[in-house]
A and B are shown apart, each in its own frame.
Chain A
Amino acid sequence: ETGVTQSPTHLIKTRGQQVTLRCSSQSGHNTVSWYQQALGQGPQFIFQYYREEENGRGNFPPRFSGLQFPNYSSELNVNALELDDSALYLCASSLWAGTNEKLFFGSGTQLSVL
């Protein structure tokens, strides 16, 4: 068990709705990265937050946004949901930003968009 917790574990939404996913990082970790994993694919990097600031972003549209709080927990928000947003969303925390320090992953949130 990594100490990274994500909520909710499962979520069903309809197209056009908005969703917020939450992540509590491992104690002492100030960096959180979010990944999207579609069925049968590897995780795709969405963005990273370090000390409450976005610190890098993958090839995802602006309707994917995030926040990091002073306690280093994080949220991923997705607006105007599309069917292709159906995926497992993974949060990973690490000690340092901008390095390939070992990532500690949560168990993910399975999002289904109908």
Chain B
Amino acid sequence: SQELEQSPQSLIVQEGKNLTINCTSSKTLYGLYWYKQKYGEGLIFLMMLQKGGEEKSHEKITAKLDEKKQQSSLHITASQPSHAGIYLCGAANSGNTPLVFGKGTRLSVIA
């Protein structure tokens, strides 16, 4: 079965700093999804990447999928307290399999 490894497990950054979260798969990905979760709450969809080399941005968050479709990174520019939460990557081997999630990266942003 597919496994997703996220790094780092947790991150504390000063407000205004940039940061990167990584997600690595043991298998080629059909699609890679990034979600954000506030502690003890549901997941909010951020972005989906499907093509090798694809890059998407939304406000100050940029996600990339490598050419081999086995690794993705999420980059936040000029972090703000509102960026704090748990970032989860999810993926599947095909369009007919359920999403498998990584364990998440816990981000804290301090003033």
Contact = CB atoms under 8 A, between A and B. Distances in A.
Contact of A99 (B4, B33, B96, B100): B96
A38 B43 CA distance: 14
Which label, helix, strand, loop or mixed, suits the secondary structure of the A interface? loop
Given A100-B30, A100-B31, A102-B48, A43 B98 contact: no
Interface size class of A (residues with CB under 8 A): 20 to 34
A45 to B, nearest CB: 4
A77 to B, nearest CB: 19
Contacts of A43: 43, 88, 90, 101
Given A2-B44, A42-B90, 8 more contacts: A40-B103, A42-B88, A43-B88, A43-B90, A44-B101, A90-B43, A99-B96, A100-B92
Interface of A: 2, 4, 6, 33, 40-45, 48, 56, 58, 88, 90, 92, 98-100, 102-108, 110
21 contacts: A33-B98, A42-B88, A42-B90, A42-B101, A42-B104, A43-B43, A43-B90, A43-B101, A45-B99, A56-B98, A88-B40, A98-B96, A100-B97, A100-B99, A102-B33, A103-B43, A103-B45, A104-B45, A105-B44, A107-B41, A108-B40
